[in-house]
Amino acid sequence: MSGELSPIDKAKFVAAKRAADFVEDGMRVGLGTGSTAAWLVRCLGERVREEGLRMRGIPTSSRTAHLAREVGIDVISLDEAKWLDLTIDGADEFNGDLNLIKGGGGALLQEKIVATASDQMIVIADIGKEVEHLGAFPLPVEMVPFGWQTTQALVEETLISMDVLGNNSTLRMNGERPFVTDEGNYLLDLHLNRIGNPRQLSLVLNQMPGVVENGLFMDICDKVVIGFGDGRVEVRDINSGTVEKDRVDFVESDNLFADLGD
């Protein structure tokens, strides 16, 4: 794979590489799900192997758990950890207030549980994920399979009175069958185009019978690490209001790039 990474993949990698520096010896760290989070897991695995970093990872999906074990990270459950020092995860969109849309990878429920059980959440993303208004990316809603069509109709009817530009939804599929989350639920993707009041929408969605959780992450993210294809990295801290700019040396080492398959 050496020399074949796209600018977007390079941006994801440098963001993950920079975020891995926030992990300190002895930490309990929530490990996100998705392509950018997979870079993070590989970077942390390299630190474990080469620096002797002692950490325990709490994965947000079975896919992340498999990769973490593969690269040598000690994996434990959230019940074993009880509380986390830090969660690092990707996002499908983030705005200037560091509110997010997540769930493109199908793990929003576990991701939100783990993130809210952490002292701090850091999001890693390429610059293309930054938006002025959330909603261009379809908003995932996790729902129980029982009566899912009724739940879908209720959601679409409710969207008519919300501050959004669209009210269509689609059931996420895995081939010819519905996509099933690790918790055995279905995902409904809402095509809203623009969400005027994400906090209100999140509250309304979660009050509906049949809805388990939605992909709006409000007031959960503390920092975002933004990667650029040329190796530049920007770290924004919503609590301190600071912006740090850095550069990550991009070396396509065999340790990180030989096993790429996703």
- CATH superfamily of this structure's domain 139-215: ACT domain (3.30.70.260)
Q: Give tens-digit pLDDT for 137-163.
A: 999 999 999 999 999 999 999 999 999
pTM of the model: 0.93
For residue 5, what pLDDT band results from cuts at 50, 70 and 90?
confident
Mean pLDDT along residues 62-88: 98
- Residue 95, class by beta-carbon neighbours within 10 Å (0-12 exposed, 13-18 middle, 19+ buried)? middle
**106 annotated to a ligand binding site:** no
- Percentage of the chain lying above the pLDDT 70 cut: 94
**92 annotated to a ligand binding site:** yes
**237 annotated to a ligand binding site:** no
Distance CA 141, CA 90 (A): 17
**102 annotated to a ligand binding site:** yes
Is the four-CA dihedral 121, 124, 129, 130 of positive or negative sign? positive
pLDDT mean across residues, the chain: 94
The pLDDT, as a whole number, for residue 171 is: 98
Distance CA 84, CA 34 (A): 20
Mean pLDDT along residues 74-81: 98
CATH 3.40.50.1360 domain residues, the chain: 7-131+219-257
The pLDDT, as a whole number, for residue 234 is: 98
Residues known to be catalytic: 111
Q: Give tens-digit pLDDT for 155-192.
A: 999 999 999 999 999 999 999 999 999 999 999 999 99
CATH 3.30.70.260 domain residues, the chain: 139-215
Q: Give tens-digit pLDDT for 212-261.
A: 999 999 999 999 999 999 999 999 999 999 999 999 887 665 455 544 44
Is 186 in contact with 145 (CB distance < 8 Å)? yes
Protein fold of 7-131+219-257: Rossmann fold (3.40.50)
**104 annotated to a ligand binding site:** yes
Provide, for the chain, the percentages of residues in helix, strand and coil under a 3-state DSSP scheme, each rounded to the nearest 5: 30, 25, 40
Q: Give tens-digit pLDDT for 12-28.
A: 999 999 999 999 999 99
Neighbouring-strand partners of residue 157:
none
